[in-house]
Amino acid sequence: MGGREMTRIETFTDAAFAFALTLLVISLDPPTTMQSLSDTLVHVPGFLLGATLLMVFWNAHRRWSRRFGLDDSATTLLSCLLVFTVLLFVYPLRYMTSALSGFIASLTGLPVGPDIHSLGLAGQEDVNRMFVIYGVGFMAMSVSIVLLNVHAGGAVRAWA
């Protein structure tokens, strides 16, 4: 039953993940001075962490598609749920990973993230809210992958 050829929904999902990675890009304006280059490069660790987290979900969908190769309405719906969630939560992901790398930078003194004070986190309540927002997105993406696997399990039993 494994998917040999890419389905349209898999291609669409791949494109959406590529677009989400584009939205994570360090800066939309290319640096024109050494100071702006330095200011941009402090965001690299956060970008790498965010991109890695996106790639975990992209790879889960890719592996699911290769294993089952389903192309039905439930697959389309669940894949679209994953896509919409990824695109909706890409900015909270970018913000959270910037905050995390900024926090690490503030603890270590290394230039591995933005100045934590420039992110507008007023206190513990803002940090908690940031993690809740990100957590909701992470959970929704995880549930999408779980539901795809549950759906595929039912399809496999129906073929047997």
For residue 1, tell me if it sits in a domain. Answer: no
pLDDT in the model for residue 2: 54
For residue 3, tell me if it sits in a domain. Answer: no
The total of structural domains in the chain comes to 1
Pick from 14, 53, 64, 60: which is nearest to 137 by CA?
A: 53
Residues of the chain with pLDDT under 50: 160
On whether the pTM is more than 0.75, the answer is yes
Q: Which domain holds residue 21?
A: 8-159
For residue 72, tell me if it sits in a domain. Answer: yes
For residue 84, tell me if it sits in a domain. Answer: yes
Q: How far apart are alpha carbons 159 and 38 in whole angstroms?
A: 57
pLDDT tens, residue by residue, 108-128 = 887 778 887 888 888 889 989
pLDDT in the model for residue 140: 96
pLDDT in the model for residue 101: 87
DSSP 30: P
Q: How far apart are alpha carbons 108 and 112 in whole angstroms?
A: 9
For residue 2, tell me if it sits in a domain. Answer: no
For residue 23, tell me if it sits in a domain. Answer: yes
Dihedrals phi, psi of 109, to nearest 5 degrees = 80, 0
pLDDT in the model for residue 146: 96
